[in-house]
Amino acid sequence: MQIDWQRTINDILAKKLSCPRCGTLADDIFVGYLRTPEAAEWAPFCEGCTKRENCDTRKLVVLCESCAAEVRLRGRRVDEEGYMLALLEECCRNLDEALDYLADYWREDLDIDPQDIDKRLEEVDPDLFEEEDSWRRYLEEQYLKIHQWFRERRRPIPNPGWRSEYVEDIIALGYLTLLGD
């Protein structure tokens, strides 16, 4: 089954969410986390994920009640706002991870020579940098969409300070962000 997740995120914004696994229009949706690669098809953010075919990271998954039971998703039942909150939380978590990776973790990941310790990721591995950069841009675009959802309903976005901290950190690293300047 091919899922257009971009459309699915837009569908929840239009209050029409169908289960990505069985296609049922669901009133009750369950969110939880799975690591299995097959779950990438039901994970909203894996649309922009570079490891889509083989994504074994812990990822937020959204399913109807019976699919959640079938795949043993230890999820919780959420309403629309609960879903948006879960998306927001997952989005910020992924952006924090992308930031940590750019700042430092890539050095361990690539096992670089000590003499290259002052180099930046884009100098050492431009292709990997490009991959990381487009993933981060995708996440920032999703953040803005979710933020817009809260704005349109005049609901306060939880943890608003997260955004300015993220912006300061990413700019201090010398990179651009869609979330501010």
Task: Indicate whether 91 belongs to the interface with Zn ion (CB under 5 A).
Answer: no
Total residues found in the chain within this entry: 181
Q: What is the rounded CA–CA span in Å between residue 7 and residue 10?
A: 5
Using the rule CB under 5 A, which residue among 17, 29, 64, 179 binds Zn ion?
64
CB 99 within 8 A of CB 139: no
- Phi/psi class of residue 79: alpha, beta or left (left: φ > 0; alpha: ψ in -120 to 50)? beta
Q: What is the rounded CA–CA span in Å between residue 119 and residue 78?
A: 45
Strands, DSSP E only, in the chain?
A: 29-34, 59-63, 76-78
Nearest to Zn ion of 37, 145 (CB atom): 37
Task: Indicate whether 67 belongs to the interface with Zn ion (CB under 5 A).
Answer: yes
CB 63 within 8 A of CB 29: yes
Task: Indicate whether 49 belongs to the interface with Zn ion (CB under 5 A).
Answer: yes
Task: Indicate whether 55 belongs to the interface with Zn ion (CB under 5 A).
Answer: yes
Q: How far is the CB of 45 from Zn ion (least distance, A)?
A: 7
Using the rule CB under 5 A, which residue among 5, 21, 62, 146 binds Zn ion?
21
Task: Indicate whether 99 belongs to the interface with Zn ion (CB under 5 A).
Answer: no
Q: Which among 63-71, 87-95, 121-129, 132-140 is the span making contact with Zn ion, rule CB under 5 A? A: 63-71
Task: Indicate whether 86 belongs to the interface with Zn ion (CB under 5 A).
Answer: no
Nearest to Zn ion of 25, 176 (CB atom): 25
Q: Which of 178, 150, 5, 4 minimizes the C-alpha distance to 84?
A: 150
Nearest to Zn ion of 19, 84 (CB atom): 19
Q: Which of 33, 43, 35, 42 minimizes the C-alpha distance to 73?
A: 33
| 130-169 positions binding Zn ion, by CB under 5 A | none
Using the rule CB under 5 A, which residue among 12, 17, 39, 46 binds Zn ion?
46
CB 166 within 8 A of CB 96: yes
Q: How far is the CB of 59 from Zn ion (least distance, A)?
A: 6
Q: Would you tell me which residues interact with Zn ion (CB under 5 A)? A: 19, 21-22, 40, 46, 49, 55, 64, 67
